[in-house]
């Protein structure tokens, strides 16, 4: 059974979805300077794929900031990126981690959501983000919060992340 604070977080997310401006522009990837990456820790394989994805973005001269949600059932490998957990959720359903507040304020050109399914914690951060364009993988729920999505074909993290990058590089390629 979900705790009352998680229920309140889900209600806050629903209100944020209703208030979102849904016609944000997709900037040219070539001109994009600041990239945000958010993901849920789901094992070593995914973590390794995220590190490789971030490395590719860095090699393209992009400024990249990464935020990780670490569920109770997972461990934080290497403590390489800023992170938050369920412990940062207040009784009133507000995420109270300084790392999250800092991440939400960043003026990202693109925000990559690297989860195949979204949890209320990550969804809340994406909804509150100042990103110009939010990209990730298609689910019914993600269609409410992302501007550009691709379908997941085989749940192979490295391959899916590569596909997502390939298609966003093609956005507005003038």
| Residues in Cβ contact with 166 at an 8 Å cutoff, skipping those fewer than 6 apart | none
pLDDT of amino acid 24: 61
pLDDT, tens only, 22-64: 556 667 888 899 999 999 999 999 999 999 999 999 999 999 9
CATH topology of domain 1-20+33-170: Rossmann fold (3.40.50)
Give the predicted TM-score (pTM) of the model.
0.89
Instruction: Compute CA distances 144 → 13, 39, 53, 124, 149, whole Å.
Output: 11, 17, 24, 12, 11
User: How many of the other CB atoms lie within 10 Å of CB of 104?
Assistant: 19
CA angle 138, 99, 148 (to 5 degrees): 20
Q: State the alpha helices, DSSP H only, in 33-139.
A: 44-59, 98-105, 120-128
Q: Distance between CA 143 and CA 171 in Å, rounded?
A: 18
pLDDT, tens only, 103-152: 999 999 999 999 999 899 999 999 999 999 999 999 988 888 898 999 99
* Entry field: residues in the chain: 174
Helix (H/G/I), strand (E/B), else coil: 84: strand
| Per-domain residue ranges of the chain | 1-20+33-170
């Amino acid at each position: 059974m979900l705790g009352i604070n998680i229920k309140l977080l889900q209600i806050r997310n629903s209100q944020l979805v209703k208030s979102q401006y849904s016609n944000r522009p997709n900037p040219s990837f070539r001109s994009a300077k600041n990239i945000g990456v958010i993901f849920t820790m789901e094992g070593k394989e995914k973590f390794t794929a995220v590190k490789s994805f971030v490395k590719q973005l860095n090699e393209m001269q992009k400024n990249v900031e990464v935020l990780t949600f670490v569920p109770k059932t997972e461990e934080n490998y290497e403590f390489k990126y800023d992170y938050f957990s369920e412990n940062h959720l207040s009784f009133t359903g507000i995420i109270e981690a300084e790392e999250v507040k800092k991440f939400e304020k960043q003026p990202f050109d693109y925000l990559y959501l690297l989860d195949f399914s979204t949890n209320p914690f990550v969804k809340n951060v994406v909804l509150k983000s100042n990103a110009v364009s939010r990209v990730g993988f298609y689910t019914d729920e993600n269609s409410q919060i992302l501007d550009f999505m691709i379908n997941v074909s085989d749940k192979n993290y490295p391959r899916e992340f590569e596909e997502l990058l390939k298609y966003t590089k093609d956005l507005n390629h003038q």
